[in-house]
Chain A
Amino acid sequence: MASGLVLERRGESLWLRLDRPEKLNAINVELRDALWEALTLVRDDRTLRVVVFEGAGERAFSAGADISEFGTAPSLLAARDARLRRDLWGLLGALDLPLVAALRGIVFGAGLELALACDLRVATADALLALPEVGLGYIPSAGGTQLLPRRLPAGEAARMILTGDPMDAARAHELGLVHAVVSAAELEEVAGAWAARLAAFDPLVLGLTKRAVHRGGELPLSEGMALERRLAAVAQATARSGGA
Chain B
Amino acid sequence: MSDGTTPRVVRLSLEGHVATMALDPPGGRFGRATLEAIDRACASLADDRDDVHVVVVEPAGADLGLGWDGELPAGREGVGAFQALAALPQPIVCAVRGRALSAGLELALACDVRVAERGAVLALPDVAEGRVPSGGGTQRLPRAVGVSQALRLLLTAEAVDADEALRIGLVSEVAPAGGAAEAAQSVARRIAARGPVAIRFAKEAVSRGIELPLSHGLRLEHDLTVLLQATADREEGVRAFLERRPPRFEGR
Number of interface residues of B (CB under 8 A): 56
Asked if A156 is at the interface (CB within 8 A of a chain B CB), the reply is: yes
Give Cα distance in the complex from A141 to B199, angstroms: 13
| A152 CB within 8 Å of chain B | yes
Does residue B66 face the partner (Cβ distance < 8 Å to A)? no
Tell me whether B222 and A141 are in contact (CB under 8 A): yes
Q: Are B234 and A149 in touch, CB under 8 angstroms?
A: no
Q: In the complex, are the beta carbons of A135 and B247 less than 8 A apart? A: yes
Task: Establish whether residues B206 and A149, one from each chain, have CB atoms under 8 Å apart when the complex forms.
Answer: yes
Contact segment of A12-20, A161-169, A233-241: A161-169
> Which among A79, A89, A152, A164 has the highest number of chain B CB atoms within 10 Å?
A164
Expressed in whole angstroms, the minimum distance between the Cβ of B53 and any Cβ of chain A is 10
Of residues B114, B172, B203, B231, which shows the largest number of chain A Cβ atoms within 10 Å of its Cβ? B172
Q: Is A205 an interface residue (CB 8 A)?
A: no
- Best-surrounded residue of B146, B194, B230, B247 (most CB of chain A within 10 A): B194
Q: Kindly state whether residue B235 has any CB partner on chain A within 8 Å.
A: yes
Q: In the assembly, what is the distance between CA of A147 and CA of B212, in Å? A: 12
Q: Is the CB of B217 within 8 A of A146?
A: yes
Q: A153 and B144: CB pair below 8 A?
A: yes
Considering the complex, which residues of chain A in the window 125-177 have a beta carbon less than 8 Å from any beta carbon of chain B? 133-141, 143-147, 149-150, 152-159, 161-165, 174-175
> Are B241 and A67 within 8 A (Cβ)?
yes
Assess whether A11 is interfacial by the CB under 8 Å rule: no
Is the Cβ of A134 less than 8 Å from the Cβ of B144?
no
- Whether A70 sits at the interface, judged by CB under 8 Å, is yes
Q: How many A-B residue pairs have CB under 8 A?
A: 153
Please tell me the size bucket of the interface on A. Answer: 35 or more
CA of A79 to CA of B229, assembled, Å: 10
Nearest residue (CB) in A for B186 is: A163
Partner of B198, one of A68, A134, A149, A153: A134
Chain B positions within 8 Å of A133 at CB level:
198, 202
Q: How far is the CB of B51 from chain A (nearest CB, A)?
A: 17
- What are the residues of chain B within 8 A of A134 when measuring CB–CB? 191, 194-195, 198-199, 202
Contact B205 A137 (CB under 8 A): no
A81 to B3, CA, bound (A): 49
Nearest CB in chain B to that of A167: its residue:
B172
Q: Does B221 contact A (CB under 8 A)?
A: yes
Cβ A157 vs Cβ B247 within 8 A: no
A137 proximity list for chain B (CB < 8 A): 194-195, 197-198, 228, 231, 233-238, 247, 249
Across-interface contacts of B235 in A (CB, < 8 A): 71, 137
Could you list which residues of chain B lie within 8 angstroms of chain A, going by C-beta atoms?
91, 112-114, 143-146, 167-172, 187, 190-191, 193-195, 197-199, 201-203, 205-206, 209-210, 213-215, 217-218, 220-222, 224-226, 228-231, 233-238, 240-242, 247, 249
13 further contact pairs, Cβ within 8 A, besides A144-B221, A162-B202, A165-B190: A71-B235, A134-B202, A136-B195, A139-B201, A139-B205, A139-B221, A145-B205, A145-B206, A155-B113, A158-B91, A158-B112, A162-B191, A164-B194
A-B residue pairs in contact (CB < 8 Å), sample of 8: A71-B235, A135-B195, A139-B224, A141-B222, A145-B206, A145-B221, A155-B112, A174-B167
